[in-house]
Structure 1
Amino acid sequence: MSFKNKGLKIETQVPIPIFWKGKEIGTGYRADILIERKVLIELKSVEKVLPVHPKQLKTCLKVLDLKLGLLINFNEAKFVNGIVRVVNGLDDPS
């Protein structure tokens, strides 16, 4: 059963605009999956999630004015170990 079968609006390769001095000047990045314009999902297959990966996701959440993002790394022995939840508006623990 897919998200679309559940009646959810799914967008893929969503353009993330770049702003300079308050003006949009182009697209700098494309987000992998956006569900219902509420949850942003970024997909990775890397040996290790680096600190830059959640920071990139948080930046995308800020630009799109979203609250919740999931970073999913498929290169893990257990799927659940590859999921990082990122919330826009919460302080970084570092």
Structure 2
Amino acid sequence: MSKDVNQLTEDVIGLAIKVHRNLGPGFLESVYQAALAYELKQANIHFEKEKTLPVHYADIVIEKGFRCDFLIDNQLVVECKAVSNLSNIDRAQLLNYLKISNLQVGSLINFNVPILKDGLKRIVNNYKEQTPR
């Protein structure tokens, strides 16, 4: 049975905090991704790592290498970062992933901070597809 997306987000953030407490800041993004994947597996949370997200346009599919770090339970997109500060580009990247996947909620997790809560950003996709008149 699928969890509510808010509960799922809370669970994933809890696991990210566990990873951060064990590793601390300073590692490459790929290290945090591997550790979070391990914790997700241990918690029996369904996920796909480096999930390819194609863009659908008219009657074609555009495969341009969009890959989200994690697609959790087909409900939540998670992007891991290990940067000084999250940028507008990071937020736009996650928002694009949400639009492409037609999902509402995503989390940006920046592990390169002393306290992980300062590196968390929830992004909500408010994009509504316009119907032609």
Q: Same fold (TM over 0.5)?
A: yes
TM-score when normalising by structure 2:
0.61
- Flag structure 2 segments of 5+ consecutive residues without an equivalent: 1-14, 16-38, 128-133
Runs of 4 or more above 2 Å deviation: 1-8, 18-22
Task: Determine the structure 2 residue equivalent to 1:75.
Answer: 112
Structure 1 residues 39-90: Cα deviation after superposition (integer angstroms, max 9, x where no partner): 1100001111111111110111010011110000111110110000001117
- The corresponding residue for 1:37 is 74
In the superposition, the TM-score normalised over structure 1's length comes to 0.84
% same residue: 30
Kept in 2, the 8 Å contact 1:15–1:27? The answer is no
Q: Could you say what secondary structure the match of 2:66 adopts?
A: strand
Aligned to 1:3, the other structure's residue is in SS state helix
Q: Normalized per residue, which structure has more helix?
A: 2
More strand as a share of residues: 1
Query: Deviation at 1:25?
Result: 2.4
Deviates more, 1:26-35 or 1:77-86: 26-35
2:105 maps to a residue whose letter is: L
Aligned to 1:17: 54
Residue 84 of structure 1: which of 121, 126, 131 is its match? 121
Is 1:54 matched up with 2:91? yes
Q: Is the 8 A contact 1:68 1:85 kept in 2?
A: yes
Matched length: 90
Q: Please identify the structure whose Cα radius of gyration is greater.
A: 2
CA RMSD, 1 decimal: 1.8
Bigger mean CA offset, 43-52 vs 12-21: 12-21
